[in-house]
């Protein structure tokens, strides 16, 4: 777990990664994915991925409520 700074940055591997000022002060979970990228989560919502090579945060297109509750929306 990492807490987002007031600037919207997350401390990551000796540097800072911008995830958004709306999350300032909030705790975020990080889960290692196959291929060593890192999934960034807020509660049950998948926000995006920090790339292993780039170290940049790439937001999910539309996390939405269905994804937050773990519902399968790909039927």
Q: Can you tell me the distance from the alpha carbon of 26 to that of 12, in angstroms, rounded to the nearest whole number?
A: 15
User: What are the pLDDT digits (tens) for 7-63?
Assistant: 999 999 999 999 999 999 999 999 999 888 999 999 988 999 999 888 899 998 765
pLDDT at 66 over 70: no
Q: pLDDT at position 36, please?
A: 83
**pLDDT class of 73 with cuts at 50, 70, 90:** very low
Q: pTM of the full predicted structure?
A: 0.76
Residue-by-residue DSSP string for 42-54: ETTEEEEEE-TTT
Q: pLDDT at position 35, please?
A: 83
Q: pLDDT at position 75, please?
A: 41
**Dihedral pair phi/psi, residue 55, rounded to 5°:** 75, 10
Q: Give the CA angle between residues 32, 60, 1 to the nearest 5°.
A: 40
Q: Where are the domains of the chain?
A: 2-68
Q: Give the contacts of 40 (CB within 8 A, at least 6 positions apart).
A: 10, 19, 28, 29, 30, 46, 47, 48, 49, 50, 57
Residue the block writes with tokens 């911008």: 18
């Amino acid at each position: 777990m990492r807490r987002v700074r007031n600037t919207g940055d997350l401390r990551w591997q000796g540097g800072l990664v911008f995830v958004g000022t709306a999350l300032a002060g909030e705790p975020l979970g990080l889960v290692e994915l196959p291929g060593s990228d890192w999934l960034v989560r807020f509660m049950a919502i998948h926000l995006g991925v920090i790339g292993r090579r780039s170290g940049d945060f790439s937001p999910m297109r539309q996390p939405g409520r269905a994804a937050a509750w773990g519902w399968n929306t790909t039927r």
